[in-house]
Structure 1
Amino acid sequence: MCYLLIGNISALISDDCTEPLVNAQLRVYLPDGRYPTKNRPKTDILSGPGQLTKAMVEAKRDRLLAETGLDERGNFKLTWEQLHLFTEPLELDICLQHMPEQADIRGVETHYHLGTVVPNWARSGQRYVAAYAYIIPVECWSQIRANYGTWIIAGTVKRLKSREGQAQLRIEAYNAGNHRLLGCARTDENGRYQLRFSKRELTSRLILVGEPRQEKGPDIYFKVYRDKQLIWEEDAQTGMMPGRKSVPPCCTININIRDTIRRKASGYVPGWLNNWAVTRRKSSLVNH
C-alpha cells in the first residue's frame, strides 16, 4: 500500500503575513518505541519548533521513513510503501541550510523538530492520503533568521489620502547609517511587498560563513519608484524614528506616499545664487 503525505510549511512575518520555507528539507521519522503513544503531547501548527543538535539528529537516523524538499511555495509531497494499515504517529523535522537571499551560501545547517502527529489517513484508490501544515510563529522565525544574519520586511504601500494599495511600484530600502541600498522589491496588485536582505548588505567588507551574527539591525528609510520615476522618498533621518531604528529580522513597515514628491532644495538654490551673482556683477560695473 502506498502512503502520500502532502502539505505546506511556512513562517509568520506578522499577524497577517507569511513567507514559505523555500528549499528546506522535510524529514519524517517513525516514532521512538520507548515512549507510549498515549503519552505523546499533542502538537499545534502554531507551536514553536525545537532546535535539534547534530547528536540528536544522528540518534534518530535509523528511524528515518522518508524525506523531501519544499518547493518555492513551501509545499511538499512525501510517499512511501507500507504493507499494513499505517496508524503510527510520525515525527516531523525540518532542515535549513540557508535563507532564500543566501542561495550562494552553504554549510550553515540547522535542524528543528516540528512535532509528532498521527495523520488522518483517507483511502483514495490504491493509496492512503493525508495532509499536514505547519506555521512557525513570528518570534521563532525572527530568531532563526537572526541566526542566519538575514532580514525580511513586509508591508503595504498606500496613498496618504485614498488609502488604497499601490500596485507595480519598486520599493528600495536604505541603511540610514551609510546610505547603502539594502534591497528592493515590487508591490503586488494590492500594494503589498516583501523585501529581503542579509548582513552582507549592511557593510562593504566580506562576510564569511560562521562569523558571529550582527545583533543590531539597520535603521531603514525608503524610496519608491514607478518604472524609473522616483515618486516618493524619505529623508535618512526617518531611519531614526521608532519602528525604523534597529529593525528586527522580521518586521512590518507600511509606507504612505503623497501624490507628488517635494522638490529638493538643491534644485532651487543654485539658480537663486546664480541670479544673485549676476545682479551683483552688473551693479559693480555701473558703480565703476
Structure 2
Amino acid sequence: MCYLLIGNISAFISDDCTEPLVNARLRVYLPDGRCPTGNDPKNYIYNGPGQLTSAQVEAKQERLLAETTLDERGNFTLTWEQLHLFTEPLELDISLHHMPEQAGIRGIVSNYHLSTVVPHWTRSGQRYVAAYAYVIPVECWSQIRANYGTWIIAGTVRRLQASEGQSQLRVEAYNVGNHRLLGCARTDDQGKYQLRFSKKELTSKWSTVSEPGHENGPDIYFKVYRDKQLVWEEDPATAMMPGRRSVAPCTTININIRESAFRKTPGWLGSWAVTGRKSSLVRH
C-alpha cells in the first residue's frame, strides 16, 4: 500500500504574516515505541520546535521513513510503501542549512523536532492520503534567524487614514549607521511587503541597544518608490525611534504615508510626485 503525506511548513513573522521554510529538509521517522499517548495533533501546530544535536539525529537514522526538500512555498510531498494499515505516530523533523535569502550559501546545519503525530489517513484508490501543516512561532523563528545572522521585516504600506494598502511600490530599508541600503521589496496587491537582509549588508556601525530577548540589529529608516520616482522618504533620525533601533530578526513595521505625499501631476504626465516627506509609522 502506498502512503502519501502532503503539507506545508512555515514560520510566523507576526500574528497575521508568515514566510515559508524554503529549501528546508523535512524528515519523517518511524516511531521508537516511546511516544506518549493522548497527544492531540492540533496541539503541535503552534508549539515551538525542539533543537536536536547531531548525535540525536544520527541515532534516529535507522528509523528514517522518508525525506524531501520543501519548495519555494514551503510545500512538500512524501510517499512511501507500507504493507499494513499505518496507524502509528510519525516523528517529523526539519533540517536547515540557510535562510531563504542565503540561497547558494551552505551555512550552519541545524536540526529541529517539529512534532509526533498520527496523521488522519484517508483511502484514495490504492493509497492512503493525509495532510500536515506546521507553523513555527515568531519567538522561535526570530531566534533561529538570529542564529543565521538574518533579518526579515514585514508590513503594509498605506496612505494615512486609508484602509487599503498601496500596491506596486518599492520599499527600501537603510542602516542609519552608514546610510547603506540593507534590502528592498515590492508591495503586493494589498500593499504588503517582506524585506530580508543578512549580516553581510552590515559593514560598519551596529546599534548597541537591543530590546530584551533580541539580538543586536541595525537602526533603520525607509524610502518608498513608485517605479523610479521617490514618493516618500523618512528623516534618518526616525531610526532612533522605538521600534527602529536594533530591529529584531523578525520585525513588523507598517508604513503610513501622509496624503500630502502624493499629488497627481497635471497634463499628459499623469504620474506621482513628491510634495511631502515626513513619516508616520505603526509598529506591532
TM-score, structure 1 as length reference: 0.85
Paired letter, 1:38: T
How large is the RMSD of aligned CA atoms in angstroms?
A: 1.8
Map 1:256-275 → 2, pairs under 5 A:
256-258=256-258, 259-260=260-261, 261-262=274-275
Higher helix share: 1
Structure 1 residues 74, 36: CA separation in 2 closer, same or farther (over 3 Å shift)?
closer
Q: Distance in 1 between matches of 2:68 and 2:221?
A: 39
Q: Distance in 1 between matches of 2:22 and 2:171?
A: 22
1:183 aligns to what? 183
Q: Distance in 2 between matches of 1:263 and 1:151?
A: 29
Q: Distance in 1 between matches of 2:233 and 2:107?
A: 39
1:208-254 C-alpha deviation (Å, 9 max, x unpaired)? xxxxxx93111110000000000000011000000111110001000
Map 1:157-168 → 2, pairs under 5 A:
157-168=157-168
2:197 aligns to what? 197
2:37 aligns to what? 38
Q: Which of these two proteins has the greater Rg computed from alpha carbons? A: 1
Map 1:76-225 → 2, pairs under 5 A:
76-203=76-203, 215-225=215-225
Structure 1 residues 41, 131: CA separation in 2 closer, same or farther (over 3 Å shift)?
closer
2:75 aligns to what? 75
Q: Distance in 1 between matches of 2:255 and 2:35?
A: 52
| Structure 1 stretch displaced more, 35-44 or 121-130 | 35-44
Q: Distance in 2 between matches of 1:252 and 1:36?
A: 37
Paired letter, 1:236: P
Cα drift, residue 38 of structure 1:
2.6
Percentage of identical aligned residues: 77
Q: Distance in 1 between matches of 2:58 and 2:97?
A: 17
Paired letter, 1:200: K
Cα drift, residue 104 of structure 1:
2.7
Q: Distance in 1 between matches of 2:245 and 2:4?
A: 47
Q: Are 1:37 and 1:89, in contact at CA under 8 Å, matched by a contact in 2?
A: no
Three-state SS of the structure 1 residue aligned to 2:238 is helix
Structure 1 gap ranges (5+): 206-213, 265-288
Q: Are 1:97 and 1:110, in contact at CA under 8 Å, matched by a contact in 2?
A: yes
Structure 1 residues 107, 186: CA separation in 2 closer, same or farther (over 3 Å shift)?
closer
Q: Distance in 2 between matches of 1:50 and 1:44?
A: 11
Cα drift, residue 163 of structure 1:
3.7
1:10 aligns to what? 10
TM-score, structure 2 as length reference: 0.86
Q: Distance in 1 between matches of 2:108 and 2:30?
A: 26
Paired letter, 2:241: M
Q: Distance in 2 between matches of 1:69 and 1:218?
A: 32
Three-state SS of the structure 2 residue aligned to 1:254 is strand
Q: Distance in 1 between matches of 2:9 and 2:128?
A: 21
Higher strand share: 2
Deviation >6 Å, runs of 4+: none
